[in-house]
Amino acid sequence: MRTTQKDNPALQIKPKAPETAIWRHHHILDVDDFSREEIELVFHTTKAMKEVLSRPIKRVPTLRGKTLITLFYEPSTRTRLSFELAAKNLSADVANLSASVSSVAKGESLVDTLSTLQALGADIVVMRHPRSGAPYIATKYIEASIVNAGDGWHAHPTQALLDLYTIQEHRESLKGLKVVIIGDIMHSRVARSNIWGLTTMGVEVTLCCPPTLLPVGLGSQHHFPSVSIEPNIELALDGADIVMTLRLQLERQQSGLLPSIREYIQLYQLTEARLARAKPDALVFHPGPVNEGIEISPNVAHGPQSVINEQVTNGVAVRMALLYLLTGSQKQ
Partner 1 sequence: MKPLLIQGGRIIDPSQGIDITGSLLIAEGKILWLGKGEKTPPQPDYDVLPARGLVVCPGFIDLHCHLRQPGFEEKETIATGTKAAARGGFTTICCMPNTSPPLDNQTVVEYIKSKSASEGVVRVLPIGCISKGRKGEELAEMGELASAGVIAFSDDGEPALNSHLMRQALDYSRAFDLPIIDHCEDKALTEGGQMNEGIISTRLGLRGIPNAAEEIIVARDLALAQLTGSRLHIAHVTTEGSVELIRRAKEKGIKITAEVTPHHLTLTEERVIGYDTNAKVNPPLRTKRDIKALIQGLNDNTIDIIATDHAPHTEADKLCEFDLAPFGISGLETALGSLMSLVHDREISLVTLIAKLTYEPARIIGNKYSKLGTLAIGAPADVTLFDPTLEWVVDTKAFASKGRNTPLAGERLKGKVMATIFQGKLVYKDDSINVKGS
Provide, rounded to whole angstroms, the least separation between the CB of residue 190 and partner 1: 11
| Contacting residues for 312 by C-beta, under 8 A, at least 6 apart | 78, 82, 288
Closer of 107 and 280 to partner 1 (Cβ): 107
Ranges within 56-115 binding partner 1 (CB under 8 A): 104, 109-111
Judged by beta carbon, residue 84 or residue 184, the one nearer partner 1 is 184
Kindly identify the residues of this chain, within the stretch 148-167, that bind partner 1 according to CB under 8 A: 151-155
Is 223 among the residues that bind partner 1 (CB under 8 A)?
A: yes
Binder among 18, 20, 32, 116 for partner 1 (CB under 8 A):
32
- In contact, 167 and 242? CB cutoff 8 Å: yes
Residues 277-316 that bind partner 1 (CB under 8 A): none
Site for partner 1 in 112-131 (CB under 8 A): 129, 131
Minimum gap (Å) between residue 243 Cβ and partner 1: 22
For residue 154, the surrounding DSSP H or E stretch is none
Please, are residues 200 and 260 in contact by the beta-carbon 8 Å criterion? Answer: no
* 11 CB-near residues (< 8 Å, 6+ apart): 2, 5, 60, 61
Q: Which residues neighbour 263 within 8 Å (Cβ) at sequence distance 6 or greater?
A: none
Nearer to partner 1, 217 or 239 (CB): 217
Q: How far is the CB of 111 from partner 1 (least distance, A)?
A: 6
Residue 28, interface with partner 1 (CB under 8 A)?
Answer: no
CB nearer partner 1, residue 110 or residue 325: 110
Complex with partner 1: residue 23 or 73, whichever CB lies closer: 73
Separation CA 156–CA 30 (nearest Å): 7
* Closest distance to partner 1 from the beta carbon of 276 (Å): 32
Least separation in angstroms between residue 196's CB and partner 1 is 8
35 binds partner 1 (CB under 8 A): no
Residue whose C-alpha is closest to residue 203's, from 235, 237, 178: 178
CA distance 118 to 242: 41
Select 68 or 218, whichever has its Cβ closest to partner 1: 218
215 binds partner 1 (CB under 8 A): yes
Q: Tabulate helix, strand, coil % of the chain (nearest 5).
A: 40, 15, 45
Least separation in angstroms between residue 155's CB and partner 1 is 7
Q: What is the CA radius of gyration of the chain?
A: 20
Q: How near is the Cβ of 207 to partner 1 at its closest, in Å?
A: 11
Q: How far is the CB of 217 from partner 1 (least distance, A)?
A: 4
How many residues belong to the site for partner 1 (CB under 8 A)?
25
Asked whether the bond before 289 is cis by omega within 30 degrees of 0, the reply is yes
Of 33 and 292, CB closest to partner 1: 33
Within the chain, residue ranges assigned H as helices are: 36-53, 78-89, 102-105, 110-119, 134-139, 157-170, 189-200, 233-237, 261-268, 272-275, 298-301, 308-329
Would you tell me which residues interact with partner 1 (CB under 8 A)?
32, 104, 109-111, 129, 131-134, 136-137, 151-155, 189, 192, 215-218, 220, 223
